[in-house]
Structure 1
């Protein structure tokens, strides 16, 4: 199910370019579009700029124009890609470069090799361009018939990416290697999320993770239904009991010899969500194969941390279940005993993600990490509050701020949200320790209030011990793009928050 066929990334001087297309940028300045390249000689660049009005070139984000190669260009095709507005100094942001590279490469599907001559005069800029290009070179065809796959070869993603830069070989190679690892991680999430639930369910998800990581430095431990029962993971078992495909809990770990910190990650892995007995409307189930995006993200981040040998111990917990209605499914008003001993009254079986994650949060914080972060497609309320592109971040103030700042640095969209105390009060149960449903207004924050109750919940007799810093990332909207592709983001699975979490982890390793 992780079927990556990824492009090669190579640094080049302009004279060494061997690609069939050369991408250059156009920004929007106060006086109109501005060509952002020194890859063309002066006469060719001037002639091109003079033709912008005729060609309809504005330099807007995601705007792509293909032209025959001009004099002074070493390739037969010239591609102009818009980077959007320039700042007051005539500069372009790293994220604008990332988006432009992704848009250009995505539009050039079917081209074997593409050279990008976007501004890449620093390692940070080169990395941004390479990340965008790598994420733009993606398609998912694993489940098409052989004949359809053969036809799709005509428009397969770009396989060779060359980056025109004057950076030294060692510095450029390091930037491209990191970009390739991050691109692979994002696309691994996309592959898993795009896989049909007929093929990806708890058992096959766990098997795919174990197979992918075999031979790597990442350790893998899997709880099957018998072990989950024996050790008391009541939340995961309760949500999974309505399906003929039993649940799993997967723990993966990157453990460098001299780690500077220990970060735990918990991911929601509902491989398909019908809502259970509290059945969803049919239209709301159409994208529910994506309800395991949090677990896929955790897998990809641990994998990337190991590939880059980040000096931080990272443990990932994948809470995997399929939420189905049946004669064995959990019912509204049932009470579940969770891992660690808390009891939960299940008032809505469609509020299932928080239940499986609660078990994993207890297990993760039992290991005393320096911080724990969970990531989940948790609530429709996230989209009501923040739309489809912003991730909602809740939790302890300092860690919540650290997540948002990491997102800002890597060009992802995240917004800090509170957890008002009235949201927790709405979860009170008359028959159990807590209910899985509370106030539907501010439902994103209500779900976070529920999860917070399970951080360190297994530490009996240690009530005075320092609490593990915790943050919750709700990616319900941005994890799956039902609109048109844009920048480096395709339709369907996006791989959002992989780069943010990696940026945070790398920061802890410095």
Structure 2
């Protein structure tokens, strides 16, 4: 019998408020001020507060601060401000224009400051310029940096961040901050899902979460249970899930606005826990495998954010959900699965399960004949080997692949185009089935992409491997905490938006 689930307690959420208050009058315990490295000496960015800037400049010089990126220094606040502490956060050499590099530098600096602030109930951030793009980046960085996962700990008091700018009442600034709040909520919801213990988030739980989150919106939610999956010939999802007491699901989300300019289908891998199945992982390899559903969580939140922003592009999202466990009923190495659409796959390694559930959902996505299919998955350890823990690997049809990279650049995320070499395809040949689920030892990220390519036909397509970027096992940095990161949501939203013309 499946184990009973603990319901998720409500998580306190940091609130952002725009205000025309000055640093001298802001009601805050902590005041965040940014430093820009300007040649040999850092510059205090305190527009409209020259006296404060002069006092802080003396402190900066005395402490030998450089204004480098990720440099965060709390100091006692000068007497002229109401705050108890000033946190000085470095921007590095970023140029604060309306470009993506400057906005990302602001997001990271403010996020790092919020992570390191000694008190977070009432924080004020002095916007370094009045540009809507920069003020929006301040708000987004604050909300991302203030994130805390508290489900299994005592709840914290929800904090408030005031963004100080004389343009607080202008329409453009308000809209930029509202958008930042929507995007940050999406990222933080992904983080919550990824950080949740796998015993509290089985496939049925994640399907239910999708229903609850989207109730009252214009997004349609459909859920296929085990009986429906069997009847529909979803051999990959059924095969992966058959070893678990927690049955698999396929969730379809549809945002269909009037006069949609295009149609994009998104497919997310949702392995709620990956033991490796009978090809069992070593114990240390399982510790982070609660994060193997990050792709599905990202698709869920992307569809919700797109709908909330009202982007005039139809989006169909697929969440392929299963738990990969060893048992007497688990699929075996050597089994042959008949996938959705009829292709057969020889299972050589049950720990290469993500591509099996993705393949079934990709067949459904391609059958809709959208303008593009984009899938996102924590698919291979080879991604980490090739690109490290912060850079998403992107493969697929050149036009869609490059559009994903462009979108990632625009929002300050990191993605890199990777090839799909035709000469590696033979490594997936099977003597008894249409293809095998693993290839040769080397080029694992690329052969996984080649496997998925077999299920999209001629539809324009891109595959994002987020195995590293989705879960930070190292130290926090910028606005990125340890654990679930929410990586790639902002990229996918920007990508969908690009199809609106």
Quickly name the TM-score band, shorter chain normalised. over 0.9
Deviation at 1:3, TM superposition (A): 4.2
Change beyond 3 A, Cα 1:7–1:39: farther
Instruction: Assess if the C-alpha contact under 8 Å between 1:39 and 1:73 holds in 2.
Output: no
Superposed, which structure 2 residues align to 1:307-318 within 5 Å? 307-318=308-319
Superposed, which structure 2 residues align to 1:100-179 within 5 Å? 100-108=109-117, 110-144=119-153, 149=154, 153=156, 159-167=159-167, 168-179=169-180
TM-score (norm 2): 0.94
Task: Give the equivalent residue in structure 1 for 2:397.
Answer: 396
Instruction: Assess if the C-alpha contact under 8 Å between 1:299 and 1:316 holds in 2.
Output: yes
Task: Give the equivalent residue in structure 2 for 1:24.
Answer: 33
Whether 1:502 and 2:493 are equivalent positions in the alignment is: yes
Instruction: Assess if the C-alpha contact under 8 Å between 2:268 and 2:358 holds in 1.
Output: yes
Provide the C-alpha distance between the structure 1 equivalents of 2:391 and 2:178, rounded to a whole number of angstroms: 28
Provide the C-alpha distance between the structure 1 equivalents of 2:395 and 2:118, rounded to a whole number of angstroms: 38
Instruction: Assess if the C-alpha contact under 8 Å between 1:3 and 1:191 holds in 2.
Output: no
| SS of aligned partner of 1:47 | helix
Residues 378-410 of structure 1, C-alpha deviation per residue, up to 9 Å, x if partnerless? 000000000101000000111111111111110
Task: Give the equivalent residue in structure 2 for 1:442.
Answer: 443
Provide the C-alpha distance between the structure 1 equivalents of 2:324 and 2:10, rounded to a whole number of angstroms: 26
| SS of aligned partner of 2:91 | strand
Deviation at 1:261, TM superposition (A): 0.9
Task: Give the equivalent residue in structure 2 for 1:193.
Answer: 194
Task: Give the equivalent residue in structure 2 for 1:461.
Answer: none
TM-score (norm 1): 0.92
Superposed, which structure 2 residues align to 1:260-339 within 5 Å? 260-339=261-340
Whether 1:98 and 2:99 are equivalent positions in the alignment is: no
Whether 1:54 and 2:62 are equivalent positions in the alignment is: yes
Provide the C-alpha distance between the structure 2 equivalents of 1:473 and 1:96, rounded to a whole number of angstroms: 24
Provide the C-alpha distance between the structure 1 equivalents of 2:21 and 2:344, rounded to a whole number of angstroms: 65
Task: Give the equivalent residue in structure 2 for 1:355.
Answer: 356
Instruction: Assess if the C-alpha contact under 8 Å between 1:26 and 1:83 holds in 2.
Output: yes
| SS of aligned partner of 1:279 | coil
Provide the C-alpha distance between the structure 2 equivalents of 1:339 and 1:179, rounded to a whole number of angstroms: 39
Provide the C-alpha distance between the structure 2 equivalents of 1:445 and 1:3, rounded to a whole number of angstroms: 40
Residues 340-385 of structure 1, C-alpha deviation per residue, up to 9 Å, x if partnerless? 1111111111100000000000011111111010000000000000
| SS of aligned partner of 1:51 | helix
Residues 111-153 of structure 1, C-alpha deviation per residue, up to 9 Å, x if partnerless? 2121111324211111111111111111111123xxxx05xx3
Task: Give the equivalent residue in structure 2 for 1:36.
Answer: 45
Task: Give the equivalent residue in structure 1 for 2:89.
Answer: 81
Instruction: Assess if the C-alpha contact under 8 Å between 1:98 and 1:131 holds in 2.
Output: yes
Task: Give the equivalent residue in structure 1 for 2:471.
Answer: 480
Which of 450, 475, 492 is matched with 2:483 structurally?
A: 492
Provide the C-alpha distance between the structure 2 equivalents of 1:56 and 1:232, rounded to a whole number of angstroms: 66
Task: Give the equivalent residue in structure 2 for 1:412.
Answer: 413
Provide the C-alpha distance between the structure 2 equivalents of 1:326 and 1:2, rounded to a whole number of angstroms: 32
Deviation at 1:109, TM superposition (A): 6.2
Deviation at 1:13, TM superposition (A): 1.3
Provide the C-alpha distance between the structure 2 equivalents of 1:109 and 1:231, rounded to a whole number of angstroms: 55
Whether 1:428 and 2:435 are equivalent positions in the alignment is: no
Provide the C-alpha distance between the structure 2 equivalents of 1:330 and 1:251, rounded to a whole number of angstroms: 25
Provide the C-alpha distance between the structure 1 equivalents of 2:42 and 2:474, rounded to a whole number of angstroms: 27
CA RMSD of aligned residues (A): 1.8
Superposed, which structure 2 residues align to 1:189-268 within 5 Å? 189-268=190-269
